[in-house]
Amino acid sequence: MRKVLMVCTGNTCRSPMAAALFKKAAAERQIEVEVDSAGLQVFGSESANPQAQTVMREYGIDLSEHRSQQIDINALEEYDLVLTMTYSHKRYILNLRPDLADKVFLIKEFADQKRQETNTKKENINRADSDVSDPFGQSVAVYHRTATELLQAIETILDAWQ
């Protein structure tokens, strides 16, 4: 079974949403995967952001039990894949753990690679928009856009894994 870690800044918005969406989409495809989430700058054990919880409920996902957790940079070997939300998250991890370069990717970057592998016609990967936008402090509509952004990448990855 693959183990995947989703990483963002505070582990209250993007990474818990990504982990929950990944678990649900994998289960629907009957793909066995363990998915966790963590943040690079976590201060205490916080609940998922209320807007994130609202949007995830619309996907049939309950984030009410989520508590933020700090990434354990020394335990990343246990994961097959570490997916970050931004280039700065990826760079931070790889600066500390360059030995993990083969398993740390931006989520959209990894999705683009999987799309390239499954397409016979190669497309240019647009690196300019590889970051997942941070909805923190914004409206529920922005959280919806972030969820859509995440789900598109997740579905591409899982389609390639089938």
Show which residues are catalytic: 8, 14, 134
CA–chain centroid gap for 79, Å, is 13
Q: Which residue has the tokens 């079974």?
A: 1
Task: Supply angle C-alpha 137, 125, 27, rounded to 5.
Answer: 65
CA distance 83 to 16: 12
Strands (E), 43-120: 81-84, 104-106
Residues, the chain, total?
Answer: 162
